[in-house]
Structure 1
Amino acid sequence: MADAKRGDTARRLASWRRPKGMKLSDMVADGLYVASAATRLQLKNRILVDVIARGGDFDVQRLMPEARETLLTLAAEAEQDAQRIESARLRAKRRHSDSYGTHDYRSRDVRNLRKRQRQSEQVAAELRARAEDENELRTLVEDAREAAWSEVERNIDSTLRIEAARPDLEPDYGKLRDARMQSLRLIDLPRLAAHRRRNAQGAAGTLNDEKAMDAPAEKVGDVDLSELE
């Protein structure tokens, strides 16, 4: 599953059509940024599962091989994309008619396809270089740990805000309380009454009795309880 996600990320990156006037260096930088983000996400999820959910110990050295594998997988995807673009470019050189779709390339697309091919090749080369750089791998793991902790911190903060909520600290408590009480009166209590009535009828064996079905609908206020079933 993780490999499929990494491959999907790489394919989305490769198929992203950038403006024709964009510099190659900027295109490569964008590609590397997306690849690094995908790697950090993969590592963050691993930390959340192994360290936080399962109570394991955080070890940078243990996660560095996974960071390397992820970078190499994305590099391979970029190389495959470069080959695919090269094939499309060679076919486009012989086509001079109008295009029939987004990926139906023609001779006028050759220059842009060449640039995209070079982008994929350079991204792949840089990712392979980073995969062999221990400092780069360590940085990715440390960044992933920070991202994992930030996510846990947000969840803890959200939980504490809910569980430690106090009416006197809510400026709109009075207004919101009126709305909640109205909802309780008009919706929750009639629904509860309907539920209890059905249970009582079922226990007495009259749930499907014709007389019970023909009886006028019970109402609470202006609410028809039959509509709540």
Structure 2
Amino acid sequence: MGRTSDAIAEGVSIASAAARLTLRNQILVEVIAHDAPFDADTFVGLAHQTIVALADEQDAAAEMVGKQRRRAWGKFSDPDGTHDYRDRDTRNLRRRQRQYRGVARELRRLADDLEALRVLIEQARESAWGDVEANLQRRLKVEAMRPDLDPDYERMRSARMQSLRLVDLPKLAAHKRQTQSPARAARAGVTDAAPARRAGGIDLSELDS
């Protein structure tokens, strides 16, 4: 069975992965299919509900194991199947119940931690855009994204624009900030007082050549 603390940590990790998958799917639906702007705050409620539901599942599993342990108490005959427990199994069943309870407790703590939920949402967003990027790369290789050969061109166009605005432009802007020297910025006439031109949360002046 292993150490209880290790089993709890593994259970929380598995549950967190399941929660990220749920959030990723919802982000794909809301942001891409419905062409809505991404706002992490709109997914906090869903993240909380998803984690609580997973904690409820762990509590239910702990209750079931508790019943199995009570039925196994005092039975010394040979079992008839995998889940036909006997008295010798009660120790492991008790440990398993503690593990389920521990996972549920940690998940409820996670559900009440706003910062942890935001991290989970950000991980789900990165996963969602990774899927979009991979899909676009596949389509580029197969069809070179020619509109006349792509039956989903119009439907996917908004997704490509979202990916450009939320992924590619911020990467390009960050790269330009890192590579542009202060002297070059001074020669370009950039001052702290100059108003920034922004679109979709991106400083457009950073993209000027």
Do both proteins adopt the same fold according to a TM-score greater than 0.5, normalized to the shorter chain?
Answer: yes
Mapped to 2, the partners of 1:58 and 1:159 lie a distance apart of: 24
Task: Trace 1:42-121 onto structure 2 (pairs within 5 A).
Answer: 42-121=22-101
| TM-score, normalising length: structure 2 | 0.68
Does the alignment pair 1:160 with 2:152? no
Does the alignment pair 1:39 with 2:9? no
Q: Runs of 5+ in structure 2 lacking a partner? A: 146-209
Task: Trace 1:140-179 onto structure 2 (pairs within 5 A).
Answer: 140-164=120-144
Mapped to 2, the partners of 1:124 and 1:86 lie a distance apart of: 15
Other structure's SS at 2:84 match: coil
Work out which of the two has the higher radius of gyration on C-alpha atoms and give 1 or 2: 1
Q: Give the number of the structure with larger relative contact order, counting CA–CA contacts within 8 Å between residues 6 or more apart.
A: 2
How many residues are paired up?
A: 145
Structure 1 residue 164: Cα displacement = 2.9
Mapped to 1, the partners of 2:27 and 2:73 lie a distance apart of: 48
* C-alpha distance after superposition, 1:92-120 (max 9, x if no partner): 11211111111101111111101110001
| TM-score, normalising length: structure 1 | 0.62
Q: Which amino acid aligns with 1:79?
A: D
- Structure 1 runs of 4+ aligned residues shifted over 6 Å read none
- Give the alignment's Cα RMSD to 1 decimal: 1.1
Q: Runs of 5+ in structure 1 lacking a partner? A: 1-19, 166-229
Mapped to 1, the partners of 2:3 and 2:96 lie a distance apart of: 11
Mapped to 2, the partners of 1:164 and 1:58 lie a distance apart of: 28
